[in-house]
Structure 1
Amino acid sequence: MRPFIVSSLITLATCTTLQPAQEIFSNPPHDDGFRIPTPYESTVMARRILRLESIGTISTIFPSHKSSDEPSTSENRPSDVAGSPLGLMEYFADCEPTTGNPTLLEVAIANSYKNARAGSNVTLSFRWHPPTSYYKTPPYAAHSPAALPRVALTGYLERLDKDDIEANKVADCFTKYHPEARIWLPGNDIHESHFARLVVNEIYWFGGFGDRAHIGWLNPSDWKNISESEIDEIRLPGEKETSWWGWFGRWEL
């Protein structure tokens, strides 16, 4: 585990001066001892968000060519959407913690998965949602959604085989995050569905305000190798525990 520097981090509530753009992107130490978190520290936070959140947006591109998964006439897909992006809400779960690849429940009828099967890359975007009381605590700008971290994972979909599903107890894991999804698990009588993983190739992190947080691409190797203890020990803004490190400082709800 890499050590995290705790003592030099101060609360966002006391930091109101914006830094010049060139300083934001070079992540310098501030005169008052505050520093922007490193990309590695940001990666640990991103993995904790993956652990705690369960709903995001999946983005794909409509194919510009005919495929074996051509939509039926009943779908009535306009021809001019070819090459356009599609972003829709999607369930996910952290069922493969040793890789950081999110688990998805691929429902065959959904356009997002049709696009993926036609060759589209896939982006899964999600953000951290603290308890609602966090937003009601001054300073309000520091506790706004704009100040909170969000992340986008880009890659491709890979269906899980029987061995993967059994080894990782995927059905149990997924329904722990999404109990209502039991009715559309693979083998249901409503829609054809399959468990799939998003194989993460790249990670884009937006930690919050640019003079307070890291913004940029994270190292995929770091993403895959974050340890369970690192995920367990870190705390995100608004979590109830107060013995955590972070550039937001310590908060009690």
Structure 2
Amino acid sequence: MDRMTRWTALLTLALAAIAPATARETLDEAAVHARELVAYRSRNTGTLMSVFPDDAQVPTPGLPFGLQEYYAHYPDSNGDLLLLAMPIAAIYRNALPPHAPNLTMTINDMYGFGNGNLAAGRMRVALFGTLERVEGDREIEKCKQAYLEAHPDARGWIPPGGPHAAFYARFRVNKVYAFNGFGDVAFIGWVPLDLYRSSGAKMRSAKEVHRDWPVPRQPQENDDLGVVDLFGEQAGDHGVVRIMPVSREAVAHEEKRRERFRVQLA
């Protein structure tokens, strides 16, 4: 090894040693972020998906089907959704008797960041659950108010005066999958249901979430990261640390943000 090569190698090691480390998002953080995403950053809109049953018209049997759909927080629940189900819509018919009441709602960050195309790095979550019709006049009225609070424009089609038959339904969450960005810094994987539900008590206010939210990172052309680094699922080891080529100012800002967030988790 010549002198120049040796000095280059030593310099690389020295820079790596003094470079600040950026830790991956933990499972606990991911659970709180998922609840905050659903509550504050999706504009109460997601993609609702069902599967055409075996007796559906050709050529649709067995095909998944998803469309944009409004939702609201189900009153007095801990992470369930409120839907306005319209049996005229195939997406709901697929989950009504005699078919299994299974649905999936995918929810994305709708606020975005400036003019950059950062969609690949934004948080998103898939909620798996079942459809349950709301019963009882008091419960229906409570759901009506909650739905209108989230979507005032829905006054034109809510029951009983809407153009189509409809009813309020509870989307009872039973599984949660979080895809919070690129896997070198963000959590990707299943969130335990009990953790998802308990994390509601640790959510920050809407104002705090809108002001202080992890900005998605786009991979640069010179990033020494492979597909596994960017999209690898985390299976139990949530303490992985990578040396990232970022400025000290950026790291200091990120550490302050994470410390404020950790106070909320404590």
Q: TM-score, normalised by structure 2?
A: 0.66
The structure that is helix-richer by fraction is 2
In structure 2, give the amino acid aligned to 1:210: G
For residues 180 and 166 of structure 2, the distance between their equivalents in structure 1, rounded to whole angstroms, comes to 34
RMSD: 2.3
Is 1:226 paired with 2:199?
yes
How many residue pairs get matched?
195
Give 1:235 deviation, angstroms.
4.7
Q: Decide whether aligned partners of structure 1 residues 105 and 144 sit closer, same or farther in structure 2, where only a CA change above 3 A counts.
A: same
In structure 2, give the amino acid aligned to 1:103: L
Partner of 2:102: 121
The answer as to whether partners of 1:123 and 1:155 remain within 8 angstroms in 2 is yes
For residues 77 and 158 of structure 2, the distance between their equivalents in structure 1, rounded to whole angstroms, comes to 23
In structure 1, give the amino acid aligned to 2:62: G
The answer as to whether partners of 1:98 and 1:225 remain within 8 angstroms in 2 is no
Q: Could you list the per-position Cα deviations for residues 89-132 of structure 1 after superposition, in whole angstroms to 9, with x for gaps in the alignment?
A: 1100113353200110001201011000122520000111225x
Give 1:56 deviation, angstroms.
0.8
Give 1:231 deviation, angstroms.
3.9
Give 1:229 deviation, angstroms.
4.7
Q: Decide whether aligned partners of structure 1 residues 179 and 196 sit closer, same or farther in structure 2, where only a CA change above 3 A counts.
A: same
The answer as to whether partners of 2:78 and 2:200 remain within 8 angstroms in 1 is no
Q: TM-score, normalised by structure 1?
A: 0.70
Q: Which runs of 5+ in 2 are unaligned?
A: 1-18, 217-253, 258-266
Instruction: Compare 145-154 and 181-190 and name the one that shifted more.
Output: 181-190
Is 1:145 paired with 2:119?
yes
Q: Decide whether aligned partners of structure 1 residues 229 and 218 sit closer, same or farther in structure 2, where only a CA change above 3 A counts.
A: closer
After superposition, residues 18-29 of structure 1 pair within 5 angstroms as none
SS in 1 for 2:111: coil
Q: Decide whether aligned partners of structure 1 residues 156 and 216 sit closer, same or farther in structure 2, where only a CA change above 3 A counts.
A: same
SS in 2 for 1:58: strand
Is 1:155 paired with 2:129?
yes
Q: Could you list the per-position Cα deviations for residues 9-65 of structure 1 after superposition, in whole angstroms to 9, with x for gaps in the alignment?
A: xxxxxxxxxxxxxxxxxxxxxx73321111121111111111122111111000103
For residues 189 and 219 of structure 1, the distance between their equivalents in structure 2, rounded to whole angstroms, comes to 38
Percent identical residues: 31
For residues 175 and 234 of structure 1, the distance between their equivalents in structure 2, rounded to whole angstroms, comes to 21
For residues 231 and 79 of structure 1, the distance between their equivalents in structure 2, rounded to whole angstroms, comes to 48
Q: Could you list the per-position Cα deviations for residues 54-89 of structure 1 after superposition, in whole angstroms to 9, with x for gaps in the alignment?
A: 111111000103xxxxxxxxxxx7412111111111
The answer as to whether partners of 2:158 and 2:166 remain within 8 angstroms in 1 is yes
Q: Decide whether aligned partners of structure 1 residues 165 and 214 sit closer, same or farther in structure 2, where only a CA change above 3 A counts.
A: same
Which of 7, 23, 28 pairs up with 1:40? 28
For residues 145 and 21 of structure 2, the distance between their equivalents in structure 1, rounded to whole angstroms, comes to 46
SS in 1 for 2:205: helix
Q: Which runs of 5+ in 1 are unaligned?
A: 1-30, 66-76
